[in-house]
Chain A
Amino acid sequence: MTLFLQAVADGLQMGLLYALVAVGLTIIWGLMEMINFAHGEFMMLGMFGAWGLSVSLGWDPLVSMVPLAVIMYGAGVLVYRLLMRRVQRGEIFTQIFATVGLFFFIQNGAVAVFTSDYRFVEKSWLTGLSGAHITLGDVRIGVPLLVGGLIALALFLILYLLIDRTDFGLALQATSEDRDAAMLVGIRPQRMYAVAWGLGTALVAIAGVILANFFAVYPQAGLSFTVLAYAIVALGGFGSILGTLMAALVVGVVQSVTAAYLPPAFKDAFVFGSYILIGLLRPQGLFGRF
């Protein structure tokens, strides 16, 4: 029983981090219906940003998170204005290939600049807490991952309020649902798309900054998370912030519990298996609407 409870607790903690990685994709892909295969590369840039500021200026990632989020917001807007706006009205494959190209450009650019060495954020508040844990019965909950998860949860709450409870969020949703109708009521769709790209990019970069405390920083770091993020967005229901959170928790727990009892090499297969199962029962995802 302890093994099971520990696996659930571990899965929930990882799920919160997965949610933060996936939520940017929810906005760009789920809400605005634009494919972005370079999503994980923005996360990787966030990781490198945290590492770079830690090494050069001694900034803690929790501090550098703010300026990096602003910079990456700008980068997201720029990517939309320079690239995605031009391919938006074309075939869906044009979007796919544009972002696949962006994926290679960013990743190979990182290899050229940083080399493929593994880097590590060695001194930060969260790495200083490594090994610290809270015990609930026989279950150990690691403090660093818990703090990371709580930051993710707080950002989710802010984002949920922003998207569901503000005029800006409603304008974003209106643009997604009917671009022409949105224009009739004075919403500027191009601006909404640019903001969505900026927001999505900033959020995944924040995820990268937090993850840099726990994972090796290297140019290919984003890929494993991107694959999971796509499954999470589809599982949660396209465009649903709450759905993304719940789906990420499901993915975290499925990964963790299956690895505790079954051959661990197949744990991602169980994640995608659960996606297929939920897809059969509820094709629109957990919280999606048709």
Chain B
Amino acid sequence: MRIHRIITVIGAAIGVLSLVALSGSSAVRAQAPVSEVLIGELLPLTGNFASLGQQYLWAGQTVEDIVNNDYPDLKVPLGPGKGFPGLGGAKMTLVVRDDQSRGDQARTLAEQLITVNKVHWLNGEGTSGNTSIIQPLVESYGIPMSCHPCASPTLTEKGFKWFWRTGPNDSVMVASVFQFLKEWPAHGGPTTLKTIALFTCDNLFCQDNRKIAADLAEKSGFKIVADLTTKTGATTLASEVQRLQSANPDVLFYVQYPAETTVFQADAKRAGFMPKVIATSNGAYSDQTWLNAQKANNGAAAWLGRDPTAIDLASRKPSWKQVNDIYKKYSRGQDMGELSMREITGLLWMADTINRAKSVEPAALAKAANETNMTPDVMIIDYKGIKFNQNRQNELATGVVTQVGWDNEKHTIWPWELAKQAGFKTIFPAPGWQERDSKK
């Protein structure tokens, strides 16, 4: 009799738990019409990557503004009209959380956003390392997730079914740099570049770049004369600069964040170190505040790097200017940098996907996302379009190579047809520190 009662209690408990679990799953989520679409924005708003997080937040606020307000002349998805027409005019609401640039916090907050806030889509985390931490969690809950500026190839190569990326990955962008270096001699560039040094920080993003660059450098016929990895947050790089100087590379492949880049520049200037070419990939090169600060001392002149878009050409688009005006309402007057452009493009694609799905059901959203075929004319960035491969990586996201000129602005130098449109003469070799100072 007693055993019977115990079995009954255990059975009832299992039943209740099953119901609780199922009620949170996508399978039985209520089909009621929605008045607002909740977008979880999980970002590093404080901590080491806060400067990135704030740009993504401003990008998110810009897209929320575009979706919820009527911009009749704005030729981007959901520009004209208010809210999501496919969902009866439902508004878009960002649910923003700050993970302090910490992976453990990101995981906890992602779970809260899914289970407590019941977000319909999770966007974040903005850095590849922390995004890779939360991917398995989001996958287990089965809701759509995206991180558009995250560039680590591994994010889409793990075969996750609920993760999409509209931006190009590092393989595409670093390959652009090496393709440019390979083709450069045929377009009037130097024929004497034979050696390369790799100088990168130690997180997932930097190390992915390093591995891709090391592979491509050898395939492109460069001899790697130094390969140095530094800790993020370095207070001095004097010895590292000495080692690079001793190695005397023709090309320096450089991936570091703005704070470390400032340290590097000071140490390189004191040592009188300047290779013929500094080729970079994201990091400081993508940070608008670092680029702005270089105007005082020509510190970035002749640096070249990969970008997801020809920023000098994209800014000629009318829609770019309109979106930039909206962005400036949130960014305290700063223009969009390329990271913000990647994020805005991705979030506008997400809004378009939700609208096409006419539902906030995860399965319907996934179907609409996979069926995407967006054309370049509705984008503020010059990808060739948005269409996903089997890994949910946008196969039409492209990379370009830009160089900072003496005007301290980026100019497109590859692909050659875009470079022709930009009409910029590539600077070679990179000027020494005295020349930079003399042109202040």
Contact = CB atoms under 8 A, between A and B. Distances in A.
Interface in B205-232: 228-231
A123 B287 contact: no
Given A108-B46, A111-B46, A118-B293, A10 B231 contact: no
Contacts of B290: 118, 216
Contacts of B334: 117
A111 B50 contact: yes
Nearest to A6: B242
A69 interface: no
A255 B267 CA distance: 15
Given A133-B270, A218-B259, A116 B239 contact: no
B289 interface: yes
Interface string B285-320: 001011001001100000000000000000000000
A201 interface: no
Interface string B15-58: 00000000000000000000000000000011110110110000
B235 interface: yes
Nearest to A108: B46
A142 B268 CA distance: 11
Contacts of A115: 54, 332
Contact of B238 (A7, A18, A107, A228): A7
A108 B243 CA distance: 37
B242 A119 contact: no
Interface stretch (A23-31, A161-169, A236-244, A261-269): A261-269
Contact of A218 (B51, B263, B270, B296): B51
A122 interface: yes
Contacts of B243: 3, 260
Interface string A134-155: 0000001010110000000000
Assign chain B's interface to a size class.
Answer: 35 or more
Given A144-B266, A264-B239, A266-B231, 16 more contacts: A7-B239, A117-B334, A119-B289, A119-B293, A122-B296, A123-B296, A145-B270, A216-B258, A219-B46, A219-B50, A223-B233, A228-B235, A255-B235, A257-B239, A263-B229, A265-B231
Interface of A: 3, 6-7, 10, 14, 18, 107-108, 111, 115-120, 122-123, 130-131, 133, 140, 142, 144-145, 214-216, 218-221, 223-225, 228, 252, 255-257, 259-260, 263-268
11 contacts: A10-B236, A111-B54, A130-B270, A131-B434, A215-B259, A216-B262, A218-B51, A218-B259, A256-B236, A264-B229, A268-B231
